[in-house]
């Protein structure tokens, strides 16, 4: 999955660059798009499941400035028995060049809304998670 973002004034902090907390918003925006493209949200709601991030490891490689054009890329990295990890990158597209400005690993679990407890990832959920990689462009190297 990829999401295009143009950096606007409301993304910029007093130091004239994108604050590190905004990167998390960019990553989350792409994860929502990722889920929407696969009708995952409606399936999760019907299945009484909530997806919850439990750990995020972010690398900030280069600063992002006003007017930069970014592409956020997400792919499934690992699927375990109770949690899954997606890998994301933010890529700046400038003057025909692409450069990674940040990357992140996001670990998440699925909560049963009736019991409020994390569930095991069954075969149906595993297949849905694996299908996310089918919509990726060739950005992640």
* Active site members: 13
Report how far residue 31's alpha carbon sits from residue 76's, in angstroms, rounded to the nearest whole number.
Answer: 11
Q: Which residue has the tokens 């918003």?
A: 25
In angstroms, what is the C-alpha Rg of the chain? 16
Count Cα atoms within 13 angstroms, Cβ side, for 9: 0
Secondary structure of the chain: what % helix, strand, coil (to 5)?
Answer: 30, 45, 30
């Amino acid at each position: 999955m990829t999401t295009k973002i143009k950096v606007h004034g409301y993304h910029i902090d007093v130091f004239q660059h994108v604050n590190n907390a905004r990167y998390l918003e960019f990553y989350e925006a792409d994860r929502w798009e990722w889920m929407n493209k696969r009708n995952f949200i409606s399936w999760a709601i019907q299945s009484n499941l909530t997806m919850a991030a439990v750990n995020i490891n972010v690398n900030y490689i280069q600063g992002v400035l006003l007017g930069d054009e970014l592409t956020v890329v997400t792919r499934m990295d690992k699927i375990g028995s109770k949690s899954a990890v997606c890998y994301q990158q933010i890529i700046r597209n400038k003057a025909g060049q692409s450069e990674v400005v940040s990357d992140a690993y996001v670990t998440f679990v699925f909560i049963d809304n009736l019991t409020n407890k994390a569930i095991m990832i069954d075969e149906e959920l595993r297949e849905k998670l694996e299908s996310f990689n089918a919509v990726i462009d060739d950005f992640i190297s």
